[in-house]
Structure 1
C-alpha cells in the first residue's frame, strides 16, 4: 500500500468514524508518523498531544511527544526535537516502560551516529542497554551492545569496541544468527583497524558466512569490502580484487548508493596501485557520479529544510497577527459600548495595542532578516561547492599530467593528454561559476576564448586565433557538452591540420538566437576526407555529445576544415 493511500485512509477514518478520544490520539499519531510532509506531521502531532493532555494519559502523551520529536528533527528544529524526546523518555521511565524508553534511546542514538556526534550517541546507547536489561529483552540488549561496539570503533577506542562486541556474543543465549553475524563482522572490522590482520580475516569470513545467508546486502557488502582490504594489505591481490568486486556488485544490485561510492573509490585506489589506470579511472568516474549524487541530495534536503522553516515562521507570524487584530477589534467594540465615559481607557488600550503591533512588526522584520541570511548561506554553499569541484578537477588534471610525464613515448601518453584537456574544459566551467559568483549560468564569450587559447598554449603551436562570439550567458547543462565538443574539434585541428601550413589560423564562432544556437570551428589546414579515415575516440565522443544536445554537426573542406554545429535551445537557457 502506498504511503499517500494509507494517509488518506487514516484521515478518512478520523473524520468518518465515531471514535473514543484515546483512539483519536492513536490515529493522529499514526497520521503524523506516515505523513510525507513534515509540516503536516507536526500539526497532527500537536493535535494528538493536546488531546492526550486533556485525557491525562501519560503513555499517550509520551507517544505524541515521540511524533513531535521526529517531525521537528526532519525540519531541522534540533532544540524542539530534543525537548520533546526528553519529555517522552521521562514519562516512559516514570511509568516503568523500560522497553519503550530503550527503543527511543536507541533511535535517537542512531540519528546522532549519522551526524557523527559519537560521544552523545554512546551515552544514549548506554541508557538503552540498561533499559533493555531491565525489560528482559536479551536480543535487543545484544544488538545495542553491537551498536556500542560500532560507536567505539568509529571513535577509535578499539579495546572498548572489542569488549562490547564480545559481550554481545556471550549474552546471545539463543544463538541468534543475526546477532552472531553482526558481532563477528564488526569484530573483524575492529581488528582490521587495529592492524591485527589474522584475527580480522577470521572474524570477517565467519561474519560474512552468516549474514549472507540472512540476505542482508548492506552488511554483507560492507564486510566483503573490508575483507578485500585485509587481503590487499596481506599482498593477496587476487583475493582482494575478488572480494571488492563482489562487494560493489552486491551494493549495485541493492542500490546502496553510499556503499557504491565507497567501494568504487577503494577499487580506484586498488587498481592505481597495480598501475591499471584504465580500471582505476573507470571506478574513479563511478565514484564521482555517486559522490555528486549524494552531495546534490544533501543540498536539496538543506534547501527543503530552509523552505519548511520559512513556511512555519510565516504561518506562526500570520496567526499572531490575526490574533492581535481580533483582539483589537474586541476591545474597540467594548470601548464603543461604554461610550464617552471610557474614552480615556479606550485610548490607553489602543495605545497599548499599537505598541504590540509595533513589536509584532519588529519580530517580522527580524524573521525577514533571518530568511535573507539563510538565502545567503545557501548561495555560499553553492559557491563553495563550485570551488571544491573546480579544485577536485584540477587535482585530477594534475595527476593525469604527472602520469603523462611517466609515459613519454608510450601509446597511452596521447590519450592521457587529451583526457587532461577534457577535464580542464570542465574545470574552467566551475572556475567561471566560482569567479563570476553565479550559480548556473556562464558568459560564453570569455569562457570559449579562454578554453581555445589554453588549448593552443598547451600544444605549443604558433596559431593565430580569431573569434566571433555573442556575449550570451548559458546554463551549464548546455555549456558542458558544447565545451567538450569545442575541445575535441580544436584539438583535432591543432594535432593534424597544420603540418604543411606556414601561417596556421583557427577561427571560432558562436551565435545565439531566441530558440537556437550555432557553433563554427574553421582552420586553414590541409583538411581531410571523413570517408577515408576511421573516426577516433574524440570524434565518437563529439557525435555522442551532439546527439545529447539533439543537434546537427556537419563537416566541409574549403581551404581547410569547417565544422558547423546547430542546436535548439530553450529561450530560458
Structure 2
C-alpha cells in the first residue's frame, strides 16, 4: 500500500509540476505578447509618421500645396489618434509634435491664426517635454509671428527671446539672425528706435559671418531704414550701398530694385538729385521689366520728388499722376497714400490750391478709412484673441480629458500588474511547497525506481527459466521418442515437441524485450516460423505479412499453437514431388478495434474433407479459436489450394 501511495503521489506531483510550468510559460507569453503588440503598434505609427513627414517636407520644397494638404491630413489624423504617455517612445512624441507644427504652418498659410497658434502651442509642449530644442525654438518663433499679427507684442517678444536663446545655445546663425530681426521689428513698431537699432546690430554681426547674401541684404536694408528714421542719412546711405552690392548676389532682381529705390530716396534727401535720378531710373526699369507694379508706384513717386527738386513741376506731376493711377489699379492703400502726398507737394509748388484741397480731402478720407480699418483690425484682433483664449480653454479641456484617459489606462495597467504579481506570488509559494514535497519524496521515488528495476529483472529471469524448462521438456520428449520403433508414435512425440517450442518462443520473445504486458505479434510470428522452417523442408518458401499488433501472452501462445499445427500439416501432407515451388503465406491484420484475421495459405495438393473432419490438429485449432469467440474457415483461393481463415477477438 505504501509503494502504491508513493507512486500515485509521484504522478500527482508530476502533474502539478507540468501545470505550474504551463502557467508560468503562459504568463511569460502574455508579457511578451502584450509588450510586442504595444511595441509593434508604436513602431508602425513612428514609421508611418516618419515617411509622411519626409513627403511633406519634400513637397514643401517644390511648393506643391495639394500634395502637402493630402499627406498632412493623413499624418495629422494619425497624430491626433495618439494618446501620448510619458513612457511612450521619444520618436513617437517627436513626430506627433512635428505633425502639429506642420498643421500650424498650413493653418497660418490659410490665415486661420487661431488654429495655427493652438497647434504651435501643442507642438511646443511636446518639444519642451522631450527636450527637442531646435524644433522647440522654431515652434516658439512661429508662435511669436502670430502673436505679433494679433497685436500681442508682449507675448510675441517673450516667445522670440525664448526661441533666440535656444538658437544661440545651438549656434544656429540663421535662427539667431531671424530672431533678432523680428525682435527689432517689434521695438520699431513700438517706436523704440534705439532698442530696434541694438537688435539689428546684433543681427548684422551674425549675418556678416554667414554665406547668405539674401539674409545679409535683408538685415542691411532694415538697418539702413532705422538709421534713416534716426536722421542718420549718411549712415543709412552707406548701409543701402552695401545692401545693393550684396543683393546683386541673390539672383533676386526686385530686392536689388528695392535697395536702388531706397538709395535714390536718400540722395533726394541729401539734395544729390543727379545721383538720385540714376538710381531711381534703374529701380524703375527693373520694376517694369519684372512686372512689379508696386515697385513702379514707389519709384515713380520718388522720381516725381526728384523732378520737384529740379523745379520741373510738369514732369513731376505726370509721374505722380501715373503713380496714383497705378496704385488705385492695384488697390494698394499705402501706395495710394504715398502718391497723394507726392501730388499735394507738387500742386502746392504750382500754387494749384483747388486741386490741393481736393487731394487733401482724399487724404482725409483715406485717413478716415485707415482709422476705420484700424478699428476693424483692433476688433478683429480682439475677436482673434477671444478665439485664442476659447481655443486654449478647449485645448486644456481636451488635454485634461486625454490625461484622464491616460490615468484610466494606467490604472487598468496597474490592475493587470497587480494580478500578475499576485499570480507570481502564488506560483512562488506553490513552487516552494512542491519543492519541499519533491525533497521529501525524492528518496521514495528512488526506491520505487529501484524496486521497479528489480521486478523487471525478476520477470525476465522467470521468463528465461520458463523458456529453459520448456526446452528441457521438449528435449526429454525427443529423447523419449528415440526409444520407440513405431514411426507414428515418434511423429506424435515430434508434434508435441513443436507445440511446446511454440509456447517457449513466447517466453523467449518476452525475455528479450522491455515490455511484459503486450508482445508484438509480428516479431513472434517471424521467430516461430523461422524455428519451424529449420525443422521442416528447406525447399518451402514461407512468407509473413503482419501488422505490428500487441497481443497478450496467452493469446500469442494459443495463436502460436494454431500456426504450428497448420505449418506442420503443410509439411506432412501438402507438398509432394509434383510441386515445383512450394509456398506458404501467412498474414495477420486487424479488422476492427478488437477483431483480427489470421490467414494461412499454401499451394500444396489441397485438403481432403474426410481427413479434415477427423484431424486432431484441425480440432485443436477450432478449439483454440472458439475460446476467442472466433471461427475457422477452410477453402481455396486462386493458386492457393489450401486456405485457412481464422477470425478471432481478444478480450
TM-score, structure 2 as length reference = 0.44
TM-score, structure 1 as length reference = 0.50
Tell which structure's C-alpha radius of gyration is larger. Answer: 2
Larger RCO (CA under 8 A, 6+ residues apart)? 2
